[in-house]
Amino acid sequence: ELFDREYIPNEILVMTSVKSEDEISSLCRQMMEIPEVLSATNLRSTAYSFRSTMQVVNAAVMIIILSAAMLAFVVLYNLTNINITERMRELATIKVLGFYDTEVAMYIYRENIVLTLIGILIGQAAGNFLCQYLIRTVEMDIVMFGRHALLQNYLMSVLLSLIFAAAVNLVMYFKMKNIDMVQSLKSVE
């Protein structure tokens, strides 16, 4: 009705009580001997093949996620380390003026928190675009994937980003705590 044409069936679903894969394969071969039959597919073996393929894809996705997590940690660590190293005199001056270690740390942490939140916002938008592009790219005629990531996936990425930022801040706290005030203030700029 929709296409204003007569419906002509071109596929048939055959259900059988046969459980053995060998017998099902034999039935498929027998059906292929009929001149009108162009192909015969065992849905059980197709589903098994699809599941095993998806397991490989899931393993690849986990490797990508772990690599991205390590990259995020290294980038945050290096940025914070450079920030502290470049501002050593400034931090030493603040410590000499009587600020506590946590106050000195919060001086750097505020910047890290703001940069992390900006990175999360940009990453969510870019990640959504990349998700859409990737799904459209890998889809095949016989298999379609959901094109939208779940809200829990977005929340998990935000949570992981915040955990990495907190871990870097914790590691760098000890570096800031051990700043040698005399050496830092003696250095010539």
Query: pLDDT per residue over 88-113, tens digit each?
Result: 888 888 888 888 888 888 888 888 89
Contact 185, 93 (CB under 8 A): yes
When the pLDDT of each residue in the chain is averaged and rounded to a whole number, the result is 84
Across residues 26-51, what is the average pLDDT? 82
Query: pLDDT per residue over 133-163, tens digit each?
Result: 888 888 877 777 777 788 998 999 899 889 9
Contact 26, 40 (CB under 8 A): no
Angle at 100 between CA 110 and CA 97, to 5 degrees: 100
Query: pLDDT per residue over 156-186, tens digit each?
Result: 989 988 998 999 888 888 888 777 766 666 6
State how far the Cα of 165 lies from the Cα of 141, in Å rounded to an integer: 42
Note the pTM of the prediction, 2 decimals.
Answer: 0.66
Report DSSP state, residue 98. T
